[in-house]
Amino acid sequence: MAAKARLEALEAKLQALYAKGGEKNEYVGGFGGGHLHAESFEAVQAHEEERRRLAAEVKEARAEMKRERASLKERAAGTHDAGVWTSSLLRGDERFTSTDGELERDLAQATYGLVSAADFRQKKEEVEAAHAQREEAAAAALELKRAAEAAERKERKKQKRKAQASKLSFEDEDGDG
């Protein structure tokens, strides 16, 4: 919301500049619009330059605020999507699981009881290899999922553009040519 605060400050400065210049929207000699009442032509030029600069800053701040608002709407739409809620429910509490402890736990289960040093090394290598395969499979599945999601987003965007383009019609609806 920094853009909103910046915009409000700039608009206040611009209004103060209008008040300082004593601009009035009156009809004078065939020219309408705000005419500046000042002591000299140079003062009018300096005031007009400052007004133009502030007006350009206000315009940029409005565009920045519009971009910020659009990004917030996009983010909000993504979080309120039913698919996002469903997938987070199905994932469960994966945020709280530890992969480091999983390897140690599996190794402890595989070597339960009294085992020789050679058997322990062999089991350790097997468990580590199994974990490495699982991690590779999970990484590959995640990559495939991301690619599928990207393709789906791209297709949705394409369909949205297509639907928007079909709404725009320059043909005469009456058919009168």
This prediction's pTM: 0.37
pLDDT, mean of residues 92-106? 67
Round to whole Å and give the CA distance between 7 and 59: 9
The CA-based dihedral angle spanning residues 43, 47, 49, 55, taken in that order and rounded to the nearest 10 degrees: -170
Round to whole Å and give the CA distance between 103 and 120: 14
pLDDT, mean of residues 89-106? 67
Is 89 contained in some domain?
Answer: no
Does 34 share its domain with 66?
yes
pLDDT of residue 134 exceeding 80, the answer is: yes
Q: At what angle do helices 41-79 and 2-21 cross, to 10 degrees?
A: 160
Q: What is the pLDDT of residues 47-97, one digit of tens each?
A: 788 888 888 888 888 898 899 888 888 887 777 666 666 666 666 655 555
In sequence order, what E strands does 9-100 have?
24-25, 34-35
pLDDT of residue 98 exceeding 70, the answer is: no
Does 24 share its domain with 67?
yes
Q: Which domain holds residue 109?
A: 98-166
Residue 96: HSE in the Cβ half-sphere, 13 Å Cα cutoff? 2
**pLDDT more than 70, % of the chain:** 71
Query: For position 84, what pLDDT does the model report?
Result: 67
In sequence order, what E strands does the chain have?
24-25, 34-35
pLDDT, mean of residues 28-45? 64
Round to whole Å and give the CA distance between 150 and 153: 5
Does 7 share its domain with 59?
yes
Look at the chain and report how many structural domains it folds into: 2
Per-residue pLDDT band for 139 (boundaries 50, 70, 90) equals very high
Query: For position 116, what pLDDT does the model report?
Result: 86
Alpha helices (H) in 39-116, listed in sequence order: 41-79, 82-91, 99-110
Query: For position 166, what pLDDT does the model report?
Result: 78
Is 118 contained in some domain?
Answer: yes
Q: What is the rounded average pLDDT for all residues in the chain?
A: 78
Per-residue pLDDT band for 27 (boundaries 50, 70, 90) equals low
Query: For position 171, what pLDDT does the model report?
Result: 59
Does 106 share its domain with 66?
no
Is 114 contained in some domain?
Answer: yes
